Amino acid sequence: MIARRALVLCCCLPAWQLLAPAASASGPGRATATAARCFPTALNRSAVLRGAGLAASPLPGSYDASPRTQISLLGAPASSLGGVRVRGSRSGTHAGRLIGYSQGDGASFVPSRPFASGERVTVSGRARIGSRTTPFAYSFVVGSPDALPYSAPRLPSGRDPNEVQHFVSRPDLQPPALLVTARSPRTAPGYVFAAPYSGPGKPGPMIFDDAGTLVWFDPMPAGTESANLQVQQYGGQPVLTWWQGYIPQQGFGEGEHIILNSSYRQIGSVHAGNGYKADLHDLQITPQGTALITIFAPVHCNLATAHGRSDAAVTDSGFQEIDIRTGLVRREWRGLDHVPFADSYLPGANGSTEWPFDFIHVNSVDRLANGGTLISARNTSAIYELNTLTGQVVRRLGGKHSDLGLPAGAATAFQHDAAALASGAISIFDNGAVPKVHAQSRGLVVNVSAATETVLAQYLHPSPLSSASQGNLQVLDNGDAFIGWGSQPYFSEFSAGGELLFDAHMRGSYQSYRAYRFPWTGAGSERPAVVATRPRAGGSPTVYASWNGDTRTAAWRVLAGPSTHQLVSVATAPRTGFETAIGTAAPAAYVAVQALGASGEVLGGSAAVAPVAR
């Protein structure tokens, strides 16, 4: 397949990862003494430096900065920043480079060496705003990362060979078998995008049509998982994006996001900064050429205030905005800096260094029309609206301290994928479990503009599904709602009025973190694949042709002849799915195929192969 690996391992988020065992007396990564605090003396401070007008990260006054953090200064061109001096209370003065963002509105000071855990770092400099130059200074404390033990990927739970598809021309592709149980000509245009895992076949990003026919599949190498395949806009063009990497059993991702063009060639990738690896939960590419990605960062922490151990750890989570062109971190938001432990529905008493207290578990990030930022936090059952500039929480929807009234049926529980809609409403996938709070999972569209939340639409599967983890709701351009049911292997499309228009599921044990519907035109980057088989007793071969990812092919032309250089057309057949079987009239020493477009034009051709006995 496409050469783009050479990265960390990966996985997704099954239900068994959501319920951590009680703290053990010992274990890998366990602290040997009382851990330092990891949260600030005052929560929800502003990132904006007084007087200078710059938004800084790490957040002023924070206690959870990475030892490998950049100093991000957003709000003035790099040419307006000067005299930046960075000093650690233990490590001393740090040399480094001030590198501007490609958007022209700030810069990161990138230290030449890491900071020391537990030290206080003081940052000072000056910013020229108009004709006035203003000095600035602030400080933060470096946290102590909690190194989790490596956990080998769990073996797939499925063993049934009927759970995977098989192709003669592409035996290396074994995507999940799909069963379509509902179809309608009124579905929105496009294909279904998923990233299945946890089955007997290899995991990988996958595209299929409403008949359940495979369009494209990219199997991951051993030990690597993928998630969140979707179509986005980058550089004015539609691109495919997904996450791939490794997931510790604690339930988050350590990997990178891949960007492919419509020919399935890699044109970019997005990595987390500040010493972290990109989490699987979300990637949103903005029109400004930045990427909003979720991050998870286990850090040693004294959990006495959460009725926990003094030598424990917290899984901090939040998001970064990455300048895709430079890879610099423009801003970083961390839950520890803004949300109290008491807001979590998980018990802090169970937190340890092997199973850190995952008190917030941020699982989506989106930009609001008003310029704010919207995040969903599973373990507080809350959705937060942030002031993007300051990073401060300005409104909470749901959870223990909702700022909006929640009438009966409106509250979510352990939800995923809060997304801002053009109308100002918010779409949510409401898991309602685990632990089970609702009778079944559902898709919700809610109005949050007034003092009380209003449910505008609710989507329920006709066979009640309870998704312990994962899942998403995508509101389509025609008003339909497309739902990926996460830990349940189902994909559904509903009309705006709630009518089920499309329903399919993967056979057996597979799951997919999210699923989407998008229009897509793909041009295969590889040559079409061909295998010709002939009966052992002799006779004419059957030709099997496919072109992974190509959506333009309407028909196949079979070429045959006595040598690879003497091939003539012997048959033409319409494309009949991912792989088309074509009978030929006479034996031949070599065969090849050409993919034909709707007007009969040649789109691509295979190599010539000799038939094999079968």
Q: Give the tens place of pLDDT for each residue, 530-561.
A: 999 988 766 778 999 999 999 999 999 999 99
Q: Give the tens place of pLDDT for each residue, 318-360.
A: 999 999 999 999 999 999 999 999 999 999 999 999 999 999 9
The pLDDT, as a whole number, for residue 48 is: 98
Mean pLDDT of the chain: 92
Q: Respond yes or no on whether the N-terminal peptide bond of residue 435 is cis (omega within 30° of 0).
A: yes
List, in order of start, the domains of the chain with CATH numbers. 55-141 (2.60.40.3780), 161-165+174-518 (2.120.10.30), 529-613 (2.60.40.10)
Pick the more confident residue, 449 or 71. 71
The pLDDT, as a whole number, for residue 17 is: 33
Q: Give the tens place of pLDDT for each residue, 278-303.
A: 999 999 999 999 999 999 999 999 99
Pick the more confident residue, 161 or 412. 412
pLDDT at 140 over 50: yes
The pLDDT, as a whole number, for residue 463 is: 96
DSSP assignment of 98-129, as one string?
EEE-TTSSEEEEEESSPPPTT-EEEEEEEEEE
Q: Give the tens place of pLDDT for each residue, 414-448.
A: 999 999 999 999 999 999 999 999 999 999 999 99
Taking the C-alpha atoms of residue 558 and residue 357, their distance in angstroms, rounded to an integer, is 61
Q: Residue 303, Cα to own-chain centre: how many angstroms? A: 30
Across 84-93, 111-120, 442-451, least confident range? 442-451
Q: How confident is the model at residue 35 (pLDDT cuts 50, 70, 90)?
A: confident
pTM for this entry: 0.93
The DSSP code for 188 is P
Q: How confident is the model at residue 181 (pLDDT cuts 50, 70, 90)?
A: very high
Q: What is the mean pLDDT of residues 175-190?
A: 97
Taking the C-alpha atoms of residue 268 and residue 266, their distance in angstroms, rounded to an integer, is 6
Please work out, in degrees rounded to the nearest 5, the angle formed at the alpha carbon of residue 39 by the alpha carbons of 430 and 151: 60
Q: Give the tens place of pLDDT for each residue, 197-232.
A: 988 889 999 999 999 999 999 999 988 999 999 999
For the chain, give the percent of residues with pLDDT over 70.
93
Q: What is the mean pLDDT of residues 266-283?
A: 98
* Phi/psi at 161 (5° precision): -65, -20
For the chain, give the percent of residues with pLDDT over 90.
84
pLDDT at 1 over 60: no
- Let me know if 242 is exposed, middle or buried by CB neighbors in 10 A (0-12, 13-18, 19+): buried
Q: Which residues pair with 377 in a beta bridge?
A: 362, 382
Is 76 within 8 Å of 128 (Cβ atoms)?
Answer: yes
Is 404 within 8 Å of 448 (Cβ atoms)?
Answer: yes
Pick the more confident residue, 231 or 22. 231
Residue 468 contacts by C-beta under 8 Å, 6 or more apart in sequence?
14, 15, 18, 431, 433, 434, 486, 487
| SS3 (DSSP) at 378 | helix
Q: What is the mean pLDDT of residues 94-106?
A: 98
